[in-house]
Homo-oligomer: A and B are copies of this chain.
Amino acid sequence: MSTLPEDHPAHRLAGSAYLRACRRVPGSVVPVWFQRQAGRSLPEYRRLRGDGSILEAIAQPDLAAELTLQPVRRYGVDAAILFSDIMVPAHATGLGVDIVPHVLETVRLVVKELDIPLIGFAGAPFTVASYLVEGGPSRDHGRTKALMLAEPDVWHCLCGRLAGWAVEFLRAQVAAGASSIQLFDSWVGALTPQQYATYVQPHTTTVFEGVADLGVPRAHFGVTTGELLPLFAEAGATVVGIDWRVPLDRARRRLPGMVAVQGNLDPAVCLAPWPAVEQESRRVLAANDGRPGHIFNLGHGVLPQTDPEILERIVELVHSEGRIEGPTTP
């Protein structure tokens, strides 16, 4: 059920813990990776990145590949995610730079080095639209929501365009060797379920439909999205990121049985000493209770002040204690 060529890494890595968990195959360790694992919490990252802009770093495939691989080596995580940023394609376009060829070259370099899956990713229409409309991150997304409600035609035209870009960008990353994709709609939890269904869900659906034939797992992520979870599944996500606010057992009751869950340790917990982190990590595992289709992750990105040793210990703990036991059917 995949249009990918036979020599694509997704086939070779089909037995990896990450891809098995995405597909809800039972009988495996719980895989783990961390959102923003390639980032400022790593000393080797800070040394290599220096003070250059993210765009400069992404325009150097050797550098971007190395930044992508650093957390894989240090933590022993079960998936790599491209070092990039959801706003990069839009930024670059605004500057008249086409960074897509650089990104694809990075994907190729990374995939050659990896024996775990690489996750390709893109920003989702709402979050990218909010960034463009507000001119940066926003507390209340006031202009964005006002535009959405007052000018629905303009809104749908903008989001349709952004959805098209996301499809192209995700397909290109998979073609270059990514084995799964994640669509980041980090801020969409600022909407009511009704607003989401009317103004955003059609575009999320476009993105997921646009990559469905590739047969790779389709993960979706945002924060404060507890009320939107069933709509994410309806839109075509096969893996849903769960904010730490919603315990995994509760999240599963809002999702169809064939969807895998990803999460959901509070990143702020990782600033506490290990015994507290261990206790909270065990709670996450206990809430999933061995059900197939759990990828351990944080509920949001790694905070820059996180001690990397804490993340190392989480990986060890999850690999030694996390078990996926149940049958594949719910």
Q: Could you list which residues of chain A lie within 8 angstroms of chain B, going by C-beta atoms?
A: 140-143, 145-146, 149-150, 189-195, 224, 226-227, 244-247, 250, 266-269, 271-273, 276, 279-280, 283, 303, 305
Contacts and interface: CB of A to CB of B under 8 A. Distances in A.
Contact of A142 (B142, B150, B190, B271): B271
A136 to B, nearest CB: 14
A152 to B, nearest CB: 9
A247 B193 contact: yes
Contact of A145 (B190, B191, B247, B266): B266
A283 to B, nearest CB: 6
Contacts of A150: 272-273, 276
10 contacts: A141-B268, A142-B303, A145-B272, A146-B272, A149-B269, A149-B272, A190-B268, A191-B245, A193-B247, A226-B227
Interface-centre pick from A150, A191, A246 (highest chain B CB count, 10 A): A150
Nearest to A283: B194
B194 A267 contact: no
Nearest to A284: B192
Contact of A224 (B195, B245, B283): B245
Contacts of A224: 189, 224, 245
Contacts of A246: 227
Given A244-B192, A245-B224, A140 B276 contact: no
A299 B246 CA distance: 20
A306 to B, nearest CB: 9
Contacts of A269: 145, 149
A245 B191 CA distance: 6
Given A227-B226, A245-B192, A140 B250 contact: no
A271 to B, nearest CB: 4
Nearest to A189: B245
Most buried by B among A224, A246, A267, A305: A224
A263 to B, nearest CB: 11
Nearest to A224: B224
Nearest to A228: B245
Given A195-B266, A226-B245, 9 more contacts: A142-B268, A142-B305, A145-B272, A149-B272, A190-B268, A192-B244, A193-B247, A224-B245, A227-B247
Most buried by B among A192, A194, A246: A192
Contacts of A268: 140-142, 145-146, 190
Given A145-B271, A227-B226, A245-B224, A303 B194 contact: no
A271 B138 CA distance: 14
Contacts of A191: 245
Contacts of A250: 227
A145 B299 CA distance: 15
A189 B271 CA distance: 19
A141 B145 CA distance: 26
A109 B193 CA distance: 43
Contacts of A266: 145, 192, 195
A266 B139 CA distance: 13
A276 B142 CA distance: 13
